[in-house]
Amino acid sequence: MKRTPLYIFARTFLPWFFRTVMPIRVRGIENLPKNSRTILCCNHMSMSDPLRVAYSQKQQIYFMAKKELFHNKLISVVISGLGAFPVSRGKGDKTAIYRAKDILNQGGILGIFIEGTRSKDGNFLRPKSGAVMLAHLCHAPVVPCCITPKKGRLPRLFHACYVSYGAPISEEELGIQNGTPSEYRKASLLVMQRIARLREEDLGSSVCQAAAK
């Protein structure tokens, strides 16, 4: 897919801003396929999460975002320009599903916060099934991604975070055969477990670094 003009502008002229305001340490970026249909599933703790993930690599990610964010005209213009599109949560939004399928069919990366909403305390929430449903319908792999603050439980501006990518989870590994609710729930939990494993690795790395100092 062609990158949007606003995304190109931000990637070209604002790297200094992101390095200063939202410093990150990226791990496992080689796990994100290039120019290939992929669903990126990430945990969600802060409004800055999409920007951290977008800044962590060079491919544009087209995020599903809750419809309420698009009610503000200024925010709507900015996030739409960066590739986000609205979804009505819990309503089987066919327009959003068609948009997601179109992104994947064009070889784009679809970004979904698998918990469906932000965690207020940094702990993982129960995953939703929309991401694995799309993976099944579009025959796309799922790449788990985890944002882990290096200090505290929630991401803060000017505080560094890990953005870590896990190995792609294939359609076969998800184990969805008939598209039943129980299969979707089991597959979603698998993705969430992989995200949790990334956090464990990041926190372990932080402990080792602190001990070395």
Q: pLDDT: is 145 or 15 the higher one?
A: 145
Q: Tell me the C-alpha distance between 62 and 64, whole Å.
A: 7
Q: What is the mean pLDDT of residues 79-86?
A: 92
Q: pLDDT of 101-115, one tens digit each?
A: 999 999 999 999 999
pLDDT for res 92: 73
Q: What is the mean pLDDT of residues 155-162?
A: 93
Q: What is the mean pLDDT of residues 119-141?
A: 95
pLDDT for res 152: 85
Q: Tell me the C-alpha distance between 207 and 204, whole Å.
A: 5
pTM: 0.92
pLDDT for res 205: 66
Q: What is the mean pLDDT of residues 90-109?
A: 90
Q: Look up residue 111 and give its two tokens.
A: 């970004």
Q: Is pLDDT of 206 > 60?
A: no
Q: Is pLDDT of 207 > 50?
A: no
Sorted by sequence, the CB contacts under 8 Å of residue 112 that are 6+ apart come out as: 39, 40, 41, 42, 63, 64, 130, 131, 134
Q: pLDDT: is 93 or 206 the higher one?
A: 93
Q: Is pLDDT of 22 > 60?
A: yes
Sorted by sequence, the CB contacts under 8 Å of residue 197 that are 6+ apart come out as: 166
Contact of 113 with 43, CB cutoff 8 Å: yes
φ, ψ for residue 61, nearest 5 deg: -110, 130
